[in-house]
């Protein structure tokens, strides 16, 4: 598929999820990320000089927030981090009012993470209500979407597999609470992959089949046919009661990527994890740090993808008016 540059209308510069992106737009972002990371000094430039990025995280983050901040700095944009614990959020200010207030200061981009699905959409409407300056980038909204994680995962997969057409990718773990699983399902299906989903019945909703996932209950069978195995952690913080499986030891024995289970992977298959990992639960440390793991590569690709997403959000790079 050849990918041409395109100029986006303001409302299309938001990145709220993968669901609404075309395969061509996904490939354009990945091409841009590849081009940026191939430049000297990993794309450091002043291309976004004068632009401003705000990171607004209502939930904890290591990888996503820091890599967005590094991405902004590398492109010459200023970056302001809002700590929701010391902002007027603690006085009960709503997401809508926070969005309108911040957008009134005319930042180029607000990168947001929130525990509730749909928050990025509310922020986008709030930003649109005060002007056409600020693009919203969703860095995770509850169990809904985490689009930049899916983009960096795709870049990592394509670095090894060259195409996703006809490939089989396994996603194993707590799918029910995972925005990473949903965004990956959308993206992988758009780029032609088969997605095999596994985990305890209580954490793998049947509704995933409507998103194009194929539910396979037995992790050993899934692992044997997958080109890549993506392990997800159990999101204990999103469970309202006790874990919906008998014990952690039972979970690891049945669904965890132990060293023994990892030896059942196809030759050349590799292991991914979005992080943070629960070592010893869904993944053994020997696997997480072993030769089949591409976890560190995923993290590095996160910077390149987020640089590309910031270019898109600000109408620069392949999205600049008149770009070749
Ligand atoms: N993968 C991911 O979103 O990690 P953080 O929560 O550390 O940002």
Residue 324 pLDDT greater than 80, yes or no: no
Per-residue pLDDT at 1: 59
Ligand 1 lined by 62 (C-beta under 6 Å): yes
CA 191 / ligand 1 centre spacing (Å): 23
The answer to whether 181 and 217 are in contact (CB under 8 A) is no
Ligand 1 lined by 61 (C-beta under 6 Å): yes
Paired tokens of 170: 């396994």
Tell me the per-residue pLDDT of 107-140, one tens digit each, with 9 for 90 and over.
999 999 999 999 999 999 999 999 999 999 999 9
Tell me the per-residue pLDDT of 24-42, one tens digit each, with 9 for 90 and over.
999 999 999 999 999 999 9
Q: Quick one: average pLDDT of 5-13?
A: 93
Beta bridge partners of 85: none
Tell me what percent of the residues of the chain surpass a pLDDT of 70: 99
CA 61 / ligand 1 centre spacing (Å): 5
The answer to whether 195 and 185 are in contact (CB under 8 A) is yes
Ligand 1 lined by 274 (C-beta under 6 Å): yes
Domains in the chain, ordered, with CATH? 10-145+302-314 (3.40.50.1370), 147-299 (3.40.50.1370)
- Of the candidates 90, 96, 227, 95, the one whose C-alpha atom is nearest the C-alpha of residue 163 is 227
Interatomic CA distance for residues 134 and 103, integer angstroms = 6
Per-residue pLDDT at 205: 87
Ligand 1 lined by 63 (C-beta under 6 Å): yes
Tell me the per-residue pLDDT of 209-222, one tens digit each, with 9 for 90 and over.
888 899 987 899 99
CA 86 / ligand 1 centre spacing (Å): 21
CA 64 / ligand 1 centre spacing (Å): 5
CA 196 / ligand 1 centre spacing (Å): 23
Tell me the per-residue pLDDT of 145-161, one tens digit each, with 9 for 90 and over.
999 999 999 999 999 99
Ligand 1 lined by 64 (C-beta under 6 Å): yes
How many C-beta atoms surround the C-beta of residue 50 within 10 A?
Answer: 10
Per-residue pLDDT at 221: 93
CA 29 / ligand 1 centre spacing (Å): 20
304 falls in which pLDDT band (50, 70, 90)? very high
Ligand 1 mutation pick, 276, 297, 302, max ligand atoms within 8 A of CB:
276
Ligand 1 lined by 84 (C-beta under 6 Å): no
CA 238 / ligand 1 centre spacing (Å): 15
pTM here is 0.96
**Ligand 1 atom 4: the closest Cα is on which residue?**
63
Q: Which atom of ligand 1 is nearest to the CA of 274?
A: 1
């Amino acid at each position: 598929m050849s990918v041409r540059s395109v100029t986006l209308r303001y409302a299309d510069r938001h990145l709220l999820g993968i669901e609404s992106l075309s395969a061509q737009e996904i490939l354009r972002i990945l091409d841009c990320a590849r081009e940026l990371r191939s430049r000297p000094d990993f794309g450091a430039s002043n291309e976004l000089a004068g632009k401003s990025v705000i990171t607004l995280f209502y939930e904890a983050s290591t990888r996503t927030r820091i890599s967005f901040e590094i991405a902004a700095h590398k492109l010459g944009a200023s970056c302001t981090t809002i700590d929701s614990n010391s902002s007027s959020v603690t006085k009960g200010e709503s997401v809508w009012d926070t969005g309108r207030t911040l957008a009134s200061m005319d930042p180029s981009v607000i990168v947001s993470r929130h525990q509730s699905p749909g928050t990025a959409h509310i922020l986008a409407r709030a930003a649109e209500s005060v002007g056409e300056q600020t693009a919203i980038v969703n860095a995770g909204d509850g169990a809904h979407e985490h689009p930049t994680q899916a983009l960096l995962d795709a870049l990592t997969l394509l670095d090894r597999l060259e195409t996703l057409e006809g490939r089989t990718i396994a996603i194993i773990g707590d799918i029910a609470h995972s925005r990473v699983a949903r965004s990956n399902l959308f993206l992988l299906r758009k780029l032609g992959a088969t997605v095999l989903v596994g985990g305890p019945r209580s954490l793998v909703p049947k509704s995933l089949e409507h998103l194009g996932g194929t539910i396979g209950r037995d992790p050993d069978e899934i692992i044997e046919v997958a080109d890549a195995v993506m392990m997800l952690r159990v999101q204990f913080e999103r469970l309202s009661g006790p874990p919906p499986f008998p014990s952690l030891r039972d979970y690891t024995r049945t669904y965890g990527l132990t060293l023994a289970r990892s030896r059942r992977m196809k030759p050349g298959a590799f292991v991914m994890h979005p992080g943070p990992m629960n070592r010893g639960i869904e993944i053994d440390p020997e696997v997480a740090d072993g030769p089949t793991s591409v976890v560190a590569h995923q993290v590095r690709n996160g910077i390149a993808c987020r640089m590309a997403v910031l270019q898109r959000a600000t109408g620069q790079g392949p999205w600049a008016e008149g770009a070749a």
